[in-house]
A and B are shown apart, each in its own frame.
Chain A
Amino acid sequence: MIVSKAMLWQRQRLQRIREWENTRRFPDFIDESAISGTLTENRRPSREAVLDIVEKARAHATTGELLSPAEVAALTHVDDPELWESIFETADWIKQTVYGNRIVLFAPLYVSSTCVNNCAYCGFRSTNSAVIRRDLTIPELQEEVRVLVNAGHKRLIMVYGESPDNDYRYICDTVAAAYRVKDGFGEIRRANINAPPLSVEEFRAVRSVGIGTYQVFQETYHRPTYRAVHPEGTLKGEYDWRLFSLHRAQEAGIDDVAIGVLFGLYDWRFELLGLLHHAMALEKEFGVGPHTISYPRLEPATNTPLASRSPWLVADEDFAKIVAIIRLMCPYTGSILTAREPAELRRKVIRKGGVSQMDAGSRIAVGGYGRMNEEHQPDRQQFLLSDTRSLDDFIYDLCQDGYLPSFCTAGYREGRTGANFMPLAKHATVKNFCIANGILSFEEYLQDYASPRVQQIGRQKVIPRYLKWLEENIPPLAGRVQGNLNRVREEAQRDLHF
């Protein structure tokens, strides 16, 4: 009965998707032979050419311009370790210039894992009987959210499968339910979405509940690979439907959209150019580029051999290069490094790659936060996590490394969205808000959730350091932040932001 309902739903939806694809009005922006040609033509860049590109990327930090495909292709072929040090140093410099030295924190919340798709690399694929799939009920979801807000989280990325039971209505209902949770000072202030592609009207409905960013990852921009890992006849098998999903989101008025690739399915150099062309297409069509870029790597998953034996698996060394090139090619975008990666590697790549957002204390099983003492629940997860540090331990490490941990969610509540956000990021003035709001939101964490050792390092080192930065760079704002800090500390006021 359930199977036939899912099959019928999938069949009807597939028919509509193909009708949309046949009448699509947006031009294709992934020309595989052109990308391959660009990579070939730029496979031996001179040292001088690379240094010129690096210099150009620095200049773009305050204009928001993208590097060209040829320039990105050249960077992917650098093999001189000394030049790589220059690229890594520049990635960090660009990130500091645009966003300041803060790391925005979030938690993934896997809401549903029922899925009609059968993607070869995914533990949640429909034919994988070794993994238990389920959709959270509203009370279950709110219990998960309660665990997260009581750890100190304010920002979620809510993750959904694709099935008739978790369609756009379910997304609307669950996002609204997450926002309704209040527990003491605990609440979710921004819920981002990672969900399947929708129609314009469905996107419009999801927009109405006040989401943050809508993420759809193409997984791979290489059509033959896409076809090989996403079987024909499934919803996800429709490459163009997915490729233009964020165009439809923009048409529906969702103006903060996020792109990504699952690295390890195909050549990482090709995928980087795919991301660049996607960013260029969004800018050209809507004047607003990707709010964030994600770069998950293929990870082992239960009963999923491809995840471990793909010929395109990305080595740690290349992974750091990917993250750094993304920062140079698209200076204004948020760069998301997740707990898929091991703690030691994350610690290195934050700096080398100019990372701006990270998750911590994550569980990726549906209902996983209710079983917080189990780091891994392989029979309920899409893949296996590597960094299982608690949020508080992760924050301590960030503090030790000199970063400002931030729970800021101010921008989209003050109307700094889409075309109003982009100039701030492109002209590198967004850091003024980032540092001020980072200080205030971190102080809330110190007051309400932090361990004694985090309170100590936070109050003695981190907050004074970033207040000093404000005093030196924007004295009037420093005074206002100090005033608000006092209100957080002495009057127990919360959610003071700029």
Chain B
Amino acid sequence: MLASPITRLIEQRCKDLCGRLGLAQVYVTQILGRRRHFLAGYGRPLPCKPEQMLLSPHLIVFWQGELAEPAREILRTNLQNLTDFVEQQLVESGQGRSGGSAPGSDEAMWP
């Protein structure tokens, strides 16, 4: 789980990008095995497959609406500093781990 100030920052950034790029929806997800786990975003989906782009080892941005190649770079760069921060948080909290056996003693599981 992300702290709510970070969630709000992502929401705000996604809202700005929807307005700037004319998108119906932009949202950031965490890669957890096959799951693309919703973290935060803005807008309402259209009845079509969302496009997606890998932002960092554990984060993917999805969007709905037409986006030409140069505009994708705008999307990426506008999310980059936030993405770097979230990625670092996920790794530090152990949430960057995915798809395998969970380490840890019983004690560590009951802080």
A residues near B (Cβ < 8 Å) are 12, 16, 20, 168-169, 172-173, 176, 179, 189-190, 199, 201-202, 204-212, 251-253, 255, 412-421, 423-424, 429, 432-433, 436, 474, 476-477, 480, 497-498
**Residues of chain A with a CB closer than 8 A to B60's CB:** 415
CB-CB under 8 A from B99, the residues of chain A are 176, 179, 208-210
B1-50: which residues lie under 8 A (CB-CB) from chain A? 1, 27, 29, 32-38, 41, 44-45, 47-50
Asked if A12 contacts B36 (CB within 8 A), the reply is no
A95 to B89 alpha-carbon distance, docked (Å)? 40
Most buried by B among A168, A176, A209, A212: A209
> Which residue of A is nearest B32, CB measured?
A210
CB distance from B14 to the nearest CB of A (A): 11
For the complex, give the distance between the alpha carbons of A97 and B27 in Å.
26
In the complex, B106 has a CB within 8 A of chain A:
yes
**Interface SS of chain B:** loop
A-B contacts, 24 listed (Cβ < 8 Å): A168-B102, A176-B99, A205-B104, A209-B99, A210-B32, A210-B35, A251-B1, A412-B36, A413-B36, A414-B36, A415-B38, A415-B52, A417-B29, A417-B35, A417-B38, A420-B27, A421-B38, A424-B45, A429-B47, A476-B47, A477-B47, A477-B48, A480-B49, A498-B49
B36 touches A206 (CB 8 A): no
Known: A189-B34, A498-B47. 7 other contacts (CB 8 A): A179-B34, A202-B109, A208-B97, A209-B33, A210-B35, A253-B95, A414-B36
CB pair B109 A199 closer than 8 Å: yes
Which residue of B35, B97, B100 has the most chain A CB atoms within 10 A of its CB atom? Answer: B35
Cross-chain contact A172 with B45 (CB below 8 angstroms): no
Q: Which residues of A contact B101 (CB under 8 A)?
A: 169, 172-173, 176
User: Closest 5 interchain pairs by CB?
Assistant: A210-B33, A205-B102, A432-B47, A420-B38, A210-B35
Interface string of B83-111 (1 = CB under 8 A from A): 00000000000110111111010101111
In the complex the two chains form, what is the Cα distance from A189 to B35 in whole Å? 9
B111 and A498 contact, CB distance less than 8 A = no
Chain B residues positioned under 8 Å from A480 (CB to CB) = 48-49
Cβ A415 vs Cβ B109 within 8 A = no
Contacts of B45 in A (CB 8 A): 416, 424, 429
By beta carbon, the residue of chain A nearest B28 is A415
Known interface pairs A176-B100, A253-B1, A477-B47. Does A207 touch B106 (Cβ–Cβ under 8 Å)?
no
Q: Which residue of B has the minimal Cβ distance to A480?
A: B48
- Of chain A, the residue at the smallest CB distance from B98 is A208
